[in-house]
Structure 1
Amino acid sequence: MSNAVFYCSFKLKKDASAPDFLLAAEKLNNEYISKQKGYISWKQLVDGDTWADFITFETMEDVKKFESDSGNAGELAQKFYSFINLNSCNVNYFSVERDYK
């Protein structure tokens, strides 16, 4: 079975500090996301003012469970999302067809 990716592109709020956002993301990853079933990695991408989260899990089932349980991260998630313009979010789920390394 192939790996699966949670992909979300977004923009930060106009007054958001990128370094503070990255600290909140690191804390969320270290204390919650990395402990989820099937977690492999989280890459944060940026191009100008557009950001993207690229979170890889072992299976699509793991991705869907992560998404449905994401509210369980409590204050960690609240802090992370406080930097994001939620109206700009675009979420996709992908199965990894091929991985070139």
Structure 2
Amino acid sequence: MSKTVFFNSYKLKKGVSVSDFLLAVEKLSTEHISKQKGYISFDLLVDGDIWADSTIFETMDDAKRFAESSEPNEFAERFYSFINLNSCKTHFFSIERSY
């Protein structure tokens, strides 16, 4: 099985503090995402007002299990409080090749 990228793009709500958002992302990543089965790495990306995060997991099953987990936690709730949920797009990509 190939590694999988769980990729999300979104816009922040108008008027939110980017520095507060970055702190929420850091906490979510270090306190929750990095502790999930199959976790490899997490990257936060930005292009103008579009933000994205990319989490690499060992398998598609690990990525989907993470995405479908229904247990809310304080770190995810804080992260989502900054996001315009109507702008969210989610994708799962299998890594075909790495160079």
Calculate the TM-score normalised by the size of structure 2. 0.96
- Structure 2 segments unaligned to the other structure (5+ residues): none
* Aligned match of 1:86: 85
Letter matched to residue 97 of structure 1? E
Calculate the TM-score normalised by the size of structure 1. 0.94
3-state SS of the aligned residue for 1:30? helix
Letter matched to residue 85 of structure 1? N
* Aligned match of 1:24: 24
Name the CA distance, whole Å, in 2 between partners of 1:67 and 1:50: 21
Tell me the matched-pair count: 99
- Structure 1 segments unaligned to the other structure (5+ residues): none
* Aligned match of 1:95: 94
Please tell me whether the aligned partners of residues 11 and 51 of structure 1 are also in contact (alpha carbons under 8 angstroms): yes
1:13 aligns with 2:8: no
1:15 shift after superposition: 1.0
Name the CA distance, whole Å, in 1 between partners of 2:18 and 2:59: 30
Name the CA distance, whole Å, in 2 between partners of 1:47 and 1:14: 16
Letter matched to residue 14 of structure 2? K
Alignment root-mean-square deviation, CA: 0.9
* Aligned pairs (5 A) from 1:55-70: 55-69=55-69
3-state SS of the aligned residue for 1:7? strand
* Aligned match of 1:72: 71
- Report runs of 4+ in structure 1 exceeding 2 Å deviation: none
Name the CA distance, whole Å, in 2 between partners of 1:74 and 1:80: 10
Please tell me whether the aligned partners of residues 32 and 73 of structure 1 are also in contact (alpha carbons under 8 angstroms): no
Sequence identity (%): 61
1 or 2, which has the higher helix percentage? 1
1:51 shift after superposition: 0.4
1:48 aligns with 2:48: yes
